[in-house]
Amino acid sequence: MIDDNLGTRQRAVRLLLRDGWIERRDEPELMEVVWREREQLIADVFEVLGYRLDVERDMARLRKRPLQADPRGRVPRVRPEAKGGPTRDWWAAFRYRHYLVLFCLLAELERDATRPQALISTLAEDVRRAVMDQGEALDYTQAAHRRVLCDVLRWLEDHGVLQVVDGDREAFVTADPRAVEALYNIDRVRLERLAPTFLIADADRDELRARALAEPSTPSDEARRTRLRLHAARRLAEDPAVYFKDLSMEEQLHFRHQRRAIADRVCALTGLVAEHRQEGSCLIDPTAAEATDLRFPTFQRDRQAALLIGANLAAEHGRAPFTTEDVRRAARDLLAAHPKYFVKAEDVMAREAVEQLAELDLLSTGGASLQLRPAFGRFREAVGTTEEPTDPQETLL
């Protein structure tokens, strides 16, 4: 019997992995299937990935529980004001000050649980004091600091925590005295849903206290195997590639023997496609968008530059280490070959290429040297063409 809703459920999981939630107002047909088949979907997500999926009538929320803190987790991005702006993976990423302002603002919103509305000036002052309590400074006489606050407010608007009732948020950035300042409604339900989950997504305070007081115990063989399986499944679903050399010895032994079975289960849940090579494995998003927060390569000029600089480095160094000076030289050669197309300074191009390749896990940056990772070989066919690879399964490592 053919399951007509299988593709819809897989698409739902891909979007949940990418964004963390789905709302009926954005995806009404998708949410109808998720709501109708919620029990099976909740069970499948928990069994394969160990993640908790909360499904309400108008919203599905994926609560991830990583086995350990992962600094490579997805970075929130700032949506541009222009309606015809760049696609999601081109949006500017949160920086340190964005995170500082976001966490302080969330703390202030939670502190006064009875406040239904707030002016932007009130929120700004609350955040300024909270940031100062952390030993940092937020100076609204600087346009850059006002911009950071508005970026964070925009992000919370996009997630439904804040809704503009009146006024103009951008007036705060321009400091226009003639404009009406923004007044926000605060959605407490959305605020609770947004609360950080991290390692304790479904643990209440009593459970945490019990865990802290419990005697340490040695995990059973079954519990150890489950932990290793979930760790591998999550890395396959979340990371660009999983290399044997990045795993502990215990994880590596388990992954070598079980990776095909684990990958098959994740692929059945998500609709992703597995590639296994000598160095490791990865799951490919056949849609190139629904489970992918950073696309590569694209027609964006800085990513084309990163691709060509990486290809130059691969041709010269292969998998051998190289230096930042080698990257600058590759950028210099690219500028000399295409002076009218690439216009940034060579040091800027070199730095951006390293940042982009490292963010995609195509470049390792440990120590004083740099080194291309095996998965960069997947993009060899894209170099020297005007199109992205037509067959994304052709090469990988």
Last residue within a domain, chosen from 23, 38, 63: 63
Q: Is residue 296 part of a domain?
A: no
Q: Among all chains, which residue has been given the structure tokens 């070598």? A: 256
The set of residues, in sequence order, having a beta carbon less than 8 Å from that of 233 and lying 6+ positions away, is: 48, 49, 50, 262, 265, 266
Q: What is the pLDDT along the chain (397 residues), one digit of tens a residue?
A: 457 789 999 999 999 988 888 888 889 999 999 999 999 999 999 999 999 999 988 889 888 765 444 445 566 777 777 656 666 666 777 888 998 999 899 988 888 888 899 999 999 999 999 999 988 889 999 999 999 999 999 989 888 889 999 888 888 888 887 778 899 999 888 887 775 543 333 444 454 455 445 555 566 888 889 989 999 999 999 888 999 999 999 999 999 999 999 999 999 999 999 999 999 999 988 887 788 877 787 778 888 899 999 999 998 888 899 999 999 999 999 999 998 899 899 999 999 999 889 888 899 987 778 999 998 888 766 554 444 444 433 333 4
DSSP string, 304-366: HHHHHHHHHHHHHHTTS-B-HHHHHHHHHHHHHH-TTT--S-HHHHHHHHHHHHHHTTSEE--
Give me the number of domains the chain comprises: 4
Q: Is residue 290 part of a domain?
A: no
Q: Is 117 helix (H, G, I), strand (E, B) or coil?
A: strand
Q: Is residue 293 part of a domain?
A: no
Beta bridge partners of 181: 168
Indicate whether 338 and 378 sit together in one domain.
Answer: yes
Instruction: With 0.85 as the threshold, say if the pTM is over it.
Output: no
Q: Is residue 390 part of a domain?
A: no
Indicate whether 306 and 280 sit together in one domain.
Answer: no
The set of residues, in sequence order, having a beta carbon less than 8 Å from that of 376 and lying 6+ positions away, is: 310, 314, 357, 362, 363
The type of residue at 314 is: A
